[in-house]
Structure 1
Amino acid sequence: MLIPHPLLGPRDAREFTYLGDASLLARPDPDGDNALASFQDYVFLRDNPAGVHRELWFHEQGDRSWLVVTRNTVTHEILGAELAGDVALARLPGAAT
């Protein structure tokens, strides 16, 4: 399986470590209402979808970057990849869309 690294081009998936659901980038506000329940859900609850899903992958045997990879979990087809830092910054209030 090849992952289209945004900076390095196509890379073998064996260079990467899978780290789970990309929704982990949306960490709950520790000062927000219901923070304890929000963090409990954040830490312990994970979706296991069949179909298109956004995942975190770490380029462990390469440039050590974090990627958000969009992958079909049924066919393992890779639909795209973005730098996780760019995805996280886009979520900030006031970020350009």
Structure 2
Amino acid sequence: MQLFSCPFCGPRDETEFLFAAEAGKTRPEPAADVSAERWSEYLYLGGNPRGATREIWQHLTCGEFFAMERDTVTHVVSVSHSLRGEEA
């Protein structure tokens, strides 16, 4: 098991967390005429980078969303911080 650090609750077991999204992924404007292909790309196609990445996670215990920077190869988490007052 891995320990992830919630910016609100501190270090917790990885089973308490849920991956939410890649950080910086832009949602299509719902008022615009968005094609089914564009929605499909947004919903289902991720970058899946190898190495350092920035992601949005949710701590299920407190319900807060936060940004986590981690390495997808070594699984080392370098930092996690609140998204309050920041755009992902």
Query: Do they superpose with TM above 0.5?
Result: yes
* 1:56-90 residue CA offsets vs partner (Å, 9 max, x unmatched): 22211x211112211100000001112234432xx
Letter in 2 for 1:79: S
The 5-angstrom pairing of residues 6-85 of structure 1 reads 6-24=7-25, 26-32=26-32, 35-36=34-35, 38-60=38-60, 62-85=61-84
Which structure 2 segments of 5+ residues have no match? none
TM-score (norm 2): 0.74
Which 4+ residue blocks in structure 1 deviate beyond 6 angstroms? Answer: none
| Structure 2 SS opposite 1:23 | coil
Q: Is the 8 A contact 2:58 2:65 kept in 1?
A: yes
| Structure 2 SS opposite 1:42 | helix
Give the paired residue count: 86
**Aligned-pair distance for 1:11?**
2.1
**Is residue 2:86 matched to residue 1:87?**
yes
Aligned residues: percent identity? 30
| Structure 1 SS opposite 2:86 | helix
Stretch moving more, 49-58 or 69-78: 49-58
Which structure 1 segments of 5+ residues have no match? 92-97
Q: Name the structure with the higher strand share.
A: 2
TM-score (norm 1): 0.68
User: Over aligned residue pairs, what C-alpha RMSD do you find?
Assistant: 2.3
